Amino acid sequence: MEKQFFETDVVIIGAGPVGLFAVFELGLLDMKCHVIDILDKPGGQCAELYPEKPIYDIPGMPSVLGQELVDSLMKQIEPFSPTFHLSSMVQEINKIDDIFWELKTDSDEVFKTKTIIIAGGGGSFLPKKPPIKEIENFENNSVFYSIKNKEKFRDKDIVIVGGGDSALDWVINLEPIAKRITLIHRRDQFRAAPDSVKKIFSLIESDKIDFIIGQVSSLNGKDGILESLKCKTQDTEVEVSCDALLPFFGLTMKLGPIANWGLNLNENLITVDTEKFETNEKGIFAIGDINTYPGKLKLILCGFHEAALMSQQAYKYVYPGEKLTFQYTTSSSDLKKKLGVS
Amino acid sequence: MTKINFIEFNGEEHSVEVDNGNTVMEAAIKNNVPGIDADCGGATACATCHVYVDPAWAEKTGEAEEMEKDMLDFAFDVEDNSRLSCCIKVSDELDGLTVRLPEKQF
């Protein structure tokens, strides 16, 4: 893939509620933001884990659904037109000089930015890896947690594990090109879109795919190439020969590359001061669930407060030497103009 | 206060006390019991607070509801006595409850 270069005032890592609100606070102070997130949509945990759960402690909103809050925040930051880089994980941060940082993602994007705001919540959402013995030896050769190029699976014997949307979607997608697909799930019920479930049952009934109720217990092969696996069923263990194993157990949060950026950490959280929410590196801030300080509470509302205070300091890096006057959105014609409501 | 016993995969036992109305997941988190991740904070949305209920207590903890059963699909090494600990509410009836923890929550 060809590298893409961007130069900006601010890069925000994490498009959860706090990262999104940071776009607003920074925008009021004329700072342009690029927002990077590993998920394929904005909203972080609110969108990925509990889009339909009500949240009761957002000030002024007696009850709001996770997805509703995300939608409202997206609407609120519209006037500042941030650039989103989704399905992208920041891997490296380097200091270029006294003004700029360089930031590289796994999607071959390179950013030159004056400040970095880490709003990474509980860390990066990464695929859950089933704790099967020696599974790591087969990863990327025969075991895949996501699929970038489905042609790789043409004419192969594939085992797909799981009962959710990802598992079923890939069974349906790969069935026409694979040699044979075996779907393994721990029960004969699926938690997925009704249409996919219907398709799966019809594939099983017409003997287009094999279906085993059970759980993978061990892998067999050599030099990272899978030959077969064992599957524990209700009363026995069966061996299934296969070229590839695709487990789909959803996502879990891991700190990921953030741990390697030279920031002071305390139990996997980034330590910051409570005036500017800045890390030990000047120009790099951490807000929301990913930071820690005496008295820290992991609440969305605390992250909002942190975003507002952080922006005051970020301004000093983006516009060095310029004086910042505090203004209210209710009365300042300048701010109203930025919001497009004047 | 109600007593809940957690047994880690390596056999280490943790006996903790918690107020009724908390969930078994909260009993673990509030008392720093290792082996319960609870990524989603108790929204039945992540399956990282998976436990095995001691068979002697199965009747008292009751059966998982549909949504919990669905979410258990995203846990690993699920057995008949698997539950998500965020879905078990602590009450007097569960005083002395024992749950075992899986090798990993992923």
Closest CA to B100 of B35, B19, B17, B30: B35
- Residues from chain B that touch A186, judged by Cβ atoms under 8 A, are 73, 78
Looking at residue B43, what is its pLDDT?
87
Distances (CA, A) of A39 to A44, A144, B33: 7, 18, 30
Say if residues A164 and A248 touch (Cβ distance below 8 Å): yes
Average pLDDT, chain B: 94
Contacts with A45 from chain B: Cβ below 8 Å: 40
Nearest Cα residue in chain A from B79: A186
Number of helices and strands in chain B (H, E): 3, 5
The DSSP annotation for A246-269 comes to EE---EEEE-GGGGGS---EETTE
- Are B48 and A53 within 8 A, CB to CB? no
Q: Can you read off the two tokens belonging to residue A205?
A: 């009934």
Residue B76 confidence (pLDDT): 86
Asked whether A258 and A118 are in contact (CB, 8 A), the reply is: yes
Instruction: List the one residue out of A305, A45, A233 whose CA is nearest residue B38.
Output: A45
Q: Which residue has the tokens 């989704």?
A: A86
The answer to whether the Cβ–Cβ distance between B39 and A249 falls below 8 Å is no
pLDDT digits (tens, 9 = 90+) for A274-304: 999 999 999 999 999 999 999 999 999 999 9
Q: What share of chain A is helix, strand, coil (3-state, %, to 5)?
A: 30, 30, 40
Q: Rounded to whole angstroms, how far apart are CA atoms A154 and A174?
A: 8
8 Å CB contact of B43 and A53: yes
A1 confidence band (pLDDT: 50, 70, 90)? low
Cα angle at B43 between B41 and B44, to 5 degrees? 115
Angstroms from A330 CA to nearest CA on chain B? 36
Closest Cβ–Cβ partner in B70, B71, B106 for A128: B106
Q: Which residue has the tokens 């479930």?
A: A197
Whole-Å CA distances, A182 to A138, A197, A237, A299: 18, 15, 15, 43
β-sheet bridge partners, residue B60: none
| Residue A334 reports pLDDT greater than 80 | yes
pLDDT of A148: 82
Q: Using CA atoms in the order B105, B69, A126, A254, what is the torsion angle rounded to 10 degrees?
A: -40
User: What is the predicted pLDDT for the residue at A306?
Assistant: 98
CA distances from A136 to A57, A156, A226 (A): 41, 20, 12
Q: Quick: pLDDT tens for B10-31.
A: 999 999 999 999 999 999 999 9
Look at residue A342 in the predicted model and tell me its pLDDT: 76
Short-list A196, A139, A187, CA closest to B72: A187
Q: What is the pLDDT of residues A250-272, one digit of tens each?
A: 998 889 999 999 999 998 999 99
Q: Is the pLDDT of residue B101 over 80?
A: yes
Q: Where are the alpha helices (DSSP H) in B1-73?
A: 24-30, 58-61, 66-72
More confident residue, B40 or A247: A247
pLDDT number for residue A131: 86
Residue A2's pLDDT is what?
86
CB atoms within 10 A of CB B25: 25
B74 and A128 in contact by Cβ < 8 A? yes
Report if pTM > 0.90: no
Strand order in the sheet with A180-185: A210-213, A180-185, A157-161, A244-247
| Of A104, A55, A59, residue with least CA distance to A261 | A104
Query: Which residue from B minimizes the CA distance to A298?
Result: B41
Nearest CB to B74 within list A53, A215, A249: A249
Tokens of A166: 């990802």
What phi-psi label fits residue A87: left (phi over 0), alpha (psi between -120 and 50 degrees) or beta?
A: left
Question: pLDDT-derived band of residue A52, with 50, 70 and 90 as boundaries?
Answer: confident
Query: Residue A209: helix, strand or coil by DSSP?
Result: coil
B103, amino acid identity: E
For B46, which of A49, A131, A164 is closest by C-beta distance? A49
- pLDDT in the model for residue B106: 80
pLDDT score of A48 more than 80: yes
Split at pLDDT 50, 70, 90, the class of A69 is very high
Cβ A26 vs Cβ A338: under 8 Å:
no
In this prediction, residue A315 carries a pLDDT of: 98
Average pLDDT over residues A34-61: 94
Distance in Å, alpha carbon of B104 to nearest chain A alpha carbon: 7
CB-CB under 8 Å, B73 with A164: yes
pLDDT score for B54: 97
pLDDT number for residue A91? 96
Residue A92: beta bridge partners? A104
pLDDT band at A80 (very low <50, low <70, confident <90, very high): very high
Q: What angle, 0 to 180 degrees and rounded to 10, lies between the N-to-C axes of helices A194-205 and A165-174?
A: 50
Residue B41: per-residue pLDDT? 85
